[in-house]
Amino acid sequence: MDIKTIAPATKAPRLRPLSPNIQIYRPQLTSVLSIANRITGILLSVGAVGLVIWLSAAVAGPGPYAIVQQAIGSWIGRIVMLGFTLAFFLHMCGGIRHLVWDTVHGFELQSIYISGWSVVAASVVLTVAAWAAGLYLGGWL
Amino acid sequence: MNRQSFRSPLARAIGLGAAKRGSQHWMAERVTAIALVPLTLWFVASIIAHAGSGYTAFVSWLRTPFVAGGMILLLIALFHHTALGLQVVIEDYVHSGARFAAVIAIQLGCYGLAVVGIIATLRIAFGG
């Protein structure tokens, strides 16, 4: 049989079954940390803009610098900075985990869970330690 | 492999990735990440050490060559890494014609902000 007789020239696109979408899966440590690395990266991009604003305010003089410092020192500012601190340590620890994976190490399921929980634990510990040290040196503790 | 090409898939793939520079993007993301580990930790530690101190203390800290140099290196690595990372995010989620414009906007924005930060650092470092 000639192939042209089987395949018609014009054919309506057949509806293909869709693979299950992301929300059907139970969140796992692996998937949660994967998307967390991306979300914290996007958040830290905003933080990088904040760094430039802070440096620019310092150039502008003591007045503008005081306004920025006041915003950071407010309760909302402190909560935002706490969020940035946790996002930073999560992204850094997650990034180090990725760099280890780049050396083709730690791909066994058990290793992935050990490194994953280590990232979570290290991020929380480093965030608490950074804030404890900051509050102590700043004279608030 | 189609009938027109007698070359193996590997032969066609070698050196002919998307725009021939996919691996450079990947490598630059890693190199900037490695640079950012000590730079950001130094920055965070410095901020903690300066908690509660005022404008003059901050400016005199930023005026030392080591600190100004570190800050400039941080800004370069940070915004290079940000540009590379946000580009991947855009490429993953934006499928319309806006993708190209978005990637260009991210890159121009990141390098622009890096320059603003570097100029600010230099102005403090060399300011009167």
Give me the mean pLDDT over the A45-69 stretch: 96
Give me the mean pLDDT over the A91-96 stretch: 98
Average pLDDT of the residues of chain A = 90
Its pTM stands at 0.85
Q: How far is A64 from chain B (nearest CA, A)?
A: 10
Please give the Cα distance from A105 to A98 (Å, whole number). Answer: 10
For residue A63, pLDDT over 70 is answered with yes
For chain B, the distance separating the N- and C-terminal CA atoms, rounded to the nearest angstrom, is 67
Q: A109 lies in a domain?
A: yes
- Residue B66, pLDDT score: 96
Task: Identify the structural domains of chain B with CATH numbers, from first to last.
Answer: 21-126 (1.20.1300.10)
C-alpha distance from residue A79 to each of A47, A74, A76, A131 (Å): 13, 9, 5, 11
Q: A132 lies in a domain?
A: yes
- Residue B21, pLDDT score: 65
Of A111-120, A131-140, B17-26, give the lowest mean pLDDT range: B17-26
Q: Which residues from B are below 8 Å from A104, CB to CB?
A: none
Which of A48, A58, A88 lies nearest to residue B124, judging by beta carbons? A58
- Give chain A's contact residues with B (Cβ, < 8 Å): 38, 41-42, 44-45, 48-49, 51-52, 55-56, 58-59, 62, 65-66, 69, 85, 88, 92, 95-96, 98-99, 102, 130, 133-135, 137-140
Q: A121 lies in a domain?
A: yes
- Residue A19, pLDDT score: 75
Q: A12 lies in a domain?
A: no
Please give the Cα distance from A82 to A84 (Å, whole number). Answer: 5
Q: A122 lies in a domain?
A: yes
Give me the mean pLDDT over the A55-70 stretch: 94
- Residue A16, pLDDT score: 82
Higher pLDDT, A141 or B102: B102
**Percent of chain A predicted with pLDDT > 70:** 91
- Residue B1, pLDDT score: 45
For residue A40, pLDDT over 60 is answered with yes
Q: A10 lies in a domain?
A: no
Q: A2 lies in a domain?
A: no
Closest CA in chain A for residue B83: A45
- Residue B9, pLDDT score: 73
Name the one residue in this structure whose structure tokens are 């007789």.
A5
| Residue pair B65/B74 in contact by the 8 Å Cβ criterion | no
- Give chain B's contact residues with A (Cβ, < 8 Å): 30, 33-34, 36-37, 40-41, 44, 47-49, 51-52, 55-56, 58-59, 62, 71, 75, 78-79, 82, 85-86, 89, 113, 116-117, 120-121, 123-124, 127
- Residue B51, pLDDT score: 84
Determine the residue among B30, B48, B124 to mutate to test chain A binding: the one whose Cβ has the most chain A Cβ atoms within 10 Å: B48
The ipTM (two decimal places) reads 0.84
Q: How far is A51 from chain B (nearest CA, A)?
A: 8
Count of domains in chain A? 1
Closest CA in chain A for residue B59: A58
Report residue A3's pLDDT band, with 50, 70 and 90 as the boundaries. Answer: low
| Residue pair A30/A116 in contact by the 8 Å Cβ criterion | yes
User: DSSP code of A18?
Assistant: P
> Which CATH number covers residue A77?
1.20.1300.10
Q: A18 lies in a domain?
A: no
- Residue A113, pLDDT score: 97
Q: Which residue range(s) make up the domain with A82?
A: 28-137
Name the one residue in this structure whose structure tokens are 């440590």.
A29
pLDDT averages per 10-residue partition of chain B, 128 residues: 62 62 86 98 95 89 95 98 96 91 96 98 90
Closest CA in chain A for residue B88: A38
Q: How far is A30 from chain B (nearest CA, A)?
A: 19
Residues A99-110 have pLDDT tens digits of: 999 999 999 999
Cβ–Cβ below 8 Å for A137 and B30: no
